[in-house]
Chain A
């Protein structure tokens, strides 16, 4: 177990290093001169040169990378080129908003997916099963931003129940905050629900064929007890692993959904920073997203191996 942890951990460190190299090199081939962005087009060449020297832009790239990496590891992602604020401070302000959105989407997804998958798997081959399979395939095929637009059309333009966009923090007004975030969370959650339903259905179907389930039925347990107490628990294990991988897709969806509904979270921050060529913010935010994906997958792997001791070291494929 110790060696498994050690190996898995060192792999994670290597991947994190590569992630940081990719982000750094990507943004250093981006056209545009940060010094000119800060000082403006009309600044004198001497002033530009002085700022470049001060920002370390004249050092060779590997040196710049090492500086950037050591700073980032200490939680210092530099300053935004747009308003000279600390990138770390900006990120910390945005993270709770995105976490609220992600949490609500995930809750919606689970609320839809678990009943749908159970119905589908226990009534396999019936029209209910086909319906649920068709809906989950449709959910996967929905472009997330169109789903957002449809929700606005239905709930804001059509029924007038919800405001089309906007954001209030949880601390300020919890009820309104949740209401405003309902549509964006639905737009992300429905898609996630579709994927979860598909995975949970096939995992449940497999578990329902195992011997201990037959034993459960044979000793006269109610179907409810068999499905909920025995089958569902065991079929959740693979689903949890895949949900870890889904996390990356969820974060990607956040960018577009936050833009549609003007929610000032990490996603909108990345998008606006890319448009404004604000490198330090893009680097910091993308780095944080990728790191959270890597770390979540690491934790999922660890939990998985604790839950299921059959998982052994070096399951590479």
Chain B
């Protein structure tokens, strides 16, 4: 700090708005984190794949070719073909759409339910909060997540839509907990007291004043939850209860691939590799965002 003052650097930054400077600093911290940058780049690439799979895919992902069944990876079929002669590379590319969609929508559901309930529960407290919300989340968190998701899918029926709802519900209590805790910590702060004293209605204090201040941990948790949701969707599809054929899904590709490990090991390799890369990139990026927020905002 002293050196900066001596060099006169401090005065030059003063002219900028503090918020822009803060954002610049955070962005700089994110860019310095090499792993986070790699994760971010891969995540963007995967989003591109998910949005425009047709641009990258070399073949149709559904067309069957019985003269080319279980062909090993080659120039014509980069990842080989599956048991119905479909091009595995194209299927894996189209699988990105399913996975990312599942991740985003289920986390959206979890946020949609968890955010309002968690905020109200943390702000108004009382019997509802202590005896209902907290205990119900306790109970829901005692279920192994995958088992709860499995049971829910069994209730709703197999399929991608129902799997996304089930995963969303399984993720909800942890969001509720996080948001409740954040609001609880903020409701006693001076700026909230000031807002209350000036007679603002509760909803305004909650959503206009408290929410923006708690957004950092929510973004971090949401990012990491997307990664967890992608793994869970793949697990459900692997068990035959998630995405149904012919929609390409990495999980169900692996499940069929397992039957051909001896003749066609590539079927058990590439879809899993894509799940791994996707989840790893999102996790790396999420960790980077956490570090970015950490030293300034928390």
Q: Do A and B bind each other?
A: yes
A interface list, Cβ under 8 A from B: 11, 14-15, 18-19, 22, 26-27, 29-31, 134, 137-138, 140-146, 149-150, 152-153, 156-157, 164, 248-256, 259-260, 270-271, 274-275, 277, 282, 286, 289-291, 293-294, 297, 316-317
Contact B155 A252 (CB under 8 A): no
Does any Cβ of A come within 8 Å of B152's Cβ? yes
Does any Cβ of A come within 8 Å of B222's Cβ? no
Given the contacts A26-B155, A271-B150, A249 and B145 also touching, CB distance less than 8 Å: yes
Contact B276 A142 (CB under 8 A): yes
CA distance A270 to B149 in the complex (A): 12
Interface string of B243-277 (1 = CB under 8 A from A): 00000000100100110011001001100100110
Contact B258 A149 (CB under 8 A): yes
Contact B280 A282 (CB under 8 A): no
CA distance A156 to B265 in the complex (A): 12
CA distance A164 to B268 in the complex (A): 14
Main secondary structure of the interface of B (DSSP, over half): helix
CA distance A226 to B157 in the complex (A): 56
Residue of B nearest to A158 (CB): B265
Does any Cβ of A come within 8 Å of B184's Cβ? yes
Contact A137 B150 (CB under 8 A): no
Does any Cβ of A come within 8 Å of B154's Cβ? yes
In order of increasing CB-CB distance, the 8 nearest A-B pairs are A146-B272, A252-B144, A252-B146, A18-B139, A141-B280, A141-B279, A251-B144, A274-B154
Report A-chain residues with C-beta under 8 Å of the C-beta of B297. none
Contact A149 B155 (CB under 8 A): no
What are 15 contact pairs spanning A and B, CB under 8 A? A18-B138, A19-B139, A19-B143, A26-B151, A31-B157, A137-B283, A153-B269, A249-B144, A252-B147, A274-B151, A289-B144, A290-B143, A290-B144, A293-B142, A317-B184
- When the two chains form the complex, which single residue of A137, A248, A259 contacts B287, counting CB atoms closer than 8 Å? A137
Interface string of B142-185 (1 = CB under 8 A from A): 11111100111011010000000000000000000000010011
Contact B239 A271 (CB under 8 A): yes
Contact A157 B262 (CB under 8 A): yes
Does any Cβ of A come within 8 Å of B21's Cβ? no
Contact A256 B258 (CB under 8 A): no
Report B-chain residues with C-beta under 8 Å of the C-beta of A164. 261
Residue of B nearest to A145 (CB): B238
Report A-chain residues with C-beta under 8 Å of the C-beta of B152. 26
Does any Cβ of A come within 8 Å of B284's Cβ? yes
CA distance A144 to B135 in the complex (A): 30
- When the two chains form the complex, which single residue of B140, B146, B235, B258 contacts A22, counting CB atoms closer than 8 Å? B140
Residue of A nearest to B130 (CB): A316
Contact B143 A29 (CB under 8 A): no
Interface of chain B residues 94 through 123 with chain A (CB within 8 A): none
Interface-centre pick from B134, B257, B268, B284 (highest chain A CB count, 10 A): B268
Does any Cβ of A come within 8 Å of B231's Cβ? yes
Does any Cβ of A come within 8 Å of B35's Cβ? yes
